[in-house]
Amino acid sequence: MPATLSVVVPCYNEADGIPQLKERLLPVLDRVAATGREVDLLFVDDGSRDNTYLLLCEAFGSRPRTRVVRHARNMNLGAAVRTGVAETQGEWIANLDSDCTYDPSLLEPMLAEMEQGADLVTVSPYHPRGRVEGVPVYRMFLSRSLTAMYRLILRKRIYTFTALARVYRREIVSQIASPAVDFTCLAEMMLKALTQDLRVAETPATLTVRRFGESKMKTVKVIRAHLHLLARLLFRPGSFLP
């Protein structure tokens, strides 16, 4: 039997983009389920100030094996990812972006990599066969610079460390869990997986600019947090081991 799959989609003030999310996500999940795999869908509304929660319930509430949970206040992405792990039971866990900046259909090639034995698969716009479209130049420069530093220290042939869209095995969660509450939780999870020599694979992807709503990332704070993570990796690599 194929491994059971829990798809977790963190959301924060995404009311405008929910129709797009429904249109693009549900056909993908239907195709995955048609292969015989059990697929659960969980939305984590991270204390949205708009009507994201109600619109998620309206758009997806009739789908079997679907739930919407809600943080009473905004707790940031790291907390939403941890809630997703705690509230689901799938043998494999997938995280997807609510804004569709990575096409939900990338879930299918990521699952194919998992079937080949990967412990963690990430989408990868910086892969030689990946692409970036419409993202501001300054953000691309910062992102690529951080990626280059992670690669230099780790000496691993990995091109993308910070994408939310990924799939991983439940049994490795305790090994790669990050206490970070911000976007750096994604990089820390990847760094722990690589430091522990887990099997990491990348799916070439196209990163696009969001069509609805605003980015929730605070650039200066995130850069500062990444620099702290880089310092840990350089001077305390043992802190990334279980």
The span from the CA of 71 to the CA of 61, in Å, is: 18
The CA–CA distances, whole Å, from 164 to 100, 102, 175, 185, 239 equal: 11, 9, 18, 9, 22
pTM comes to 0.94
For domain 5-240, the question of CATH label 3.90.550.10 is answered with yes
> Would you say 177 and 82 are in contact if contact means Cβ atoms under 8 Å apart?
yes
pLDDT at position 209 = 85
> Would you say 216 and 48 are in contact if contact means Cβ atoms under 8 Å apart?
no
Element (H, E) at 19: helix 18-34
> Would you say 174 and 242 are in contact if contact means Cβ atoms under 8 Å apart?
yes
> 232 burial class (0-12, 13-18, 19+ CB within 10 angstroms)?
middle
Any idea where the domains of the chain sit in the sequence? 5-240
Q: List pLDDT tens digits, range 183-242.
A: 899 999 999 999 999 999 999 999 998 776 565 556 677 788 899 999 999 999 999 998
* Location of structure tokens 């799916």: 203
pLDDT at position 215 = 57
Q: Cβ–Cβ contacts within 10 Å for residue 215, how many?
A: 12
